[in-house]
Amino acid sequence: MEKIRFACDYGEGALPEILERLVQTNLEQTPGYSEDAYSEQARAKIRELCGQKDAEVQFLVGGTQTNMTVIASILRPYQGVISASTGHINVHETGAIEATGHKVLAVPGHAGKLSAEQVEQVCRAHFADVDHEHIVQPGMVYLSFPTEYGTLYSAEELRAISRVCREYELPLFIDGARLGYGLMSEKNDVTLKELAELCDVFYIGGTKCGALFGEAVVITNPALAKDFRYMIKQRGGMLAKGRLLGLQFDTLFTDDLYFQAAKRANQLALKLRRAFEKKGYPMLMDSWTNQQFPVLPEEEMERLAERFVFSFWERVDERHSAVRFCTSWATTEEQVDELIEAL
């Protein structure tokens, strides 16, 4: 019997509506490189949703690719990107950012989050140093919404970070690999429109939110949009059959599909959370999105691992570890119930 996988949010394929449209349009002949009508239509929908009628919208295949392309496009050679030390770019992309020549300026973070004070402190310290020419200059800020720990920035926190960024002329880039789960969390108070306004560039994650693959980069600061497609091509992110990307995002933003799928995944995740808490297991993080991090005794981990797949996160003490359970658009109520029953 196959184990049930809660290991990640990219274990299955795509929302069935996406596959249907891929099948329907398979023989249509379109221009390549996302210059087709489906991509244009998806762009229009995204601009509308974001309330950014002039935003540059481009589609890439995956998250690491998107992060490195956006960051390399923005920074001057001697600049680095400020990130929480737990940020995906700092720990889980095999040095993709450094491979483009830039240092990740990691700051400790709290529950996966940067604070406005930390950003300000890095900038102030840099420019106050008499030797600042010998030190990597902060050139932009990267944060994930939600974070790699499932946590969320409040609107107030984002506004404060945005203010500091604008004061120091640092573009703010929001990694939205799991944006849907963040926006649809019951604890979230940031709208997509406000998020788009507060940052300079962000992306709407498809891979982890119901698409086969794909990330939609939205550049709201026009100064950063010029020639961005050259960057995509150079970094290997320009998909020949760009229609595949356009069509997927067009579908995701039809009938609220993207948001409803995320909402349902969040609900199942919270159901799981409550079950863990009921059993007395503490949560490593106060997450209200699709990733949950219970702290389990070793025996319980082993017992659950016989029927379920989940990720080891970190050792908490000699007899306990935090693990990660993820839900996604594809998770069923039955799967969750089976896990709860097993607890």
Selected range binding a second copy among 22-30, 46-54, 149-157, 259-267, rule: CB under 8 A? 22-30
Q: How far is the CB of 19 from a second copy (least distance, A)?
A: 5
Maximum Cα–Cα distance across the chain = 65
- Restricting to residues 272-331, name those near a second copy by CB under 8 A: 309, 312, 330
The answer to whether residue 108 forms part of the interface with a second copy (CB under 8 A) is no
CA 26, distance to chain mean position in Å, is 29
Q: CA geometry: angle at 62 spanning 59 and 65, to 5°?
A: 90
**Cβ contacts of 275 within 8 Å, gap of 6 or more:** 339, 340, 343
In the complex with a second copy, the residue whose CB is nearer, 33 or 45, is 33
d(CA 180, CA 255): 14
Apex 142 CA angle, 72 and 7, nearest 5? 105
38, 55, 70, 73: which one contacts a second copy (CB under 8 A)?
73
Does the protein bind a second copy through residue 241 (CB under 8 A)? yes
Question: Taking contact as CB under 8 A, which single stretch among the options 42-50, 60-68, 109-117, 267-275 is the one that binds a second copy?
Answer: 60-68
Nearest distance, CB of residue 240 and a second copy, angstroms: 4
What's CA 308's distance to the chain center, in Å?
25
Distances (CA, A) of 132 to 119, 126, 170, 192, 280: 16, 6, 17, 37, 50
Residues 117-176 contacting a second copy, CB under 8 A:
130-131, 133-137
- Smallest gap from Cβ 60 to a second copy, in A, equals 8
Residue spans of beta strands (DSSP E) within 1-136: 4-5, 56-60, 79-84, 104-107
Give the residue, chosen from 17, 40, 98, 194, that forms a contact with a second copy under the rule CB under 8 A.
Answer: 98
Please tell me whether residue 240 binds a second copy under the rule CB under 8 A.
Answer: yes
Binding mask 186-215 toward a second copy (x if CB under 8 A, else -) reads: ---------------------xx---xx--
Nearer to a second copy, 50 or 179 (CB): 179
Of 95-103, 162-170, 192-200, 297-305, the window that binds a second copy (rule: CB under 8 A) is 95-103
Kindly give, in sequence order, each residue whose CB lies less than 8 Å from that of residue 3, ignoring residues fewer than 6 positions away: 306, 307, 308, 309
Shortest CB 316 distance to a second copy, Å: 16
Distance CA 252, CA 258 (A): 5
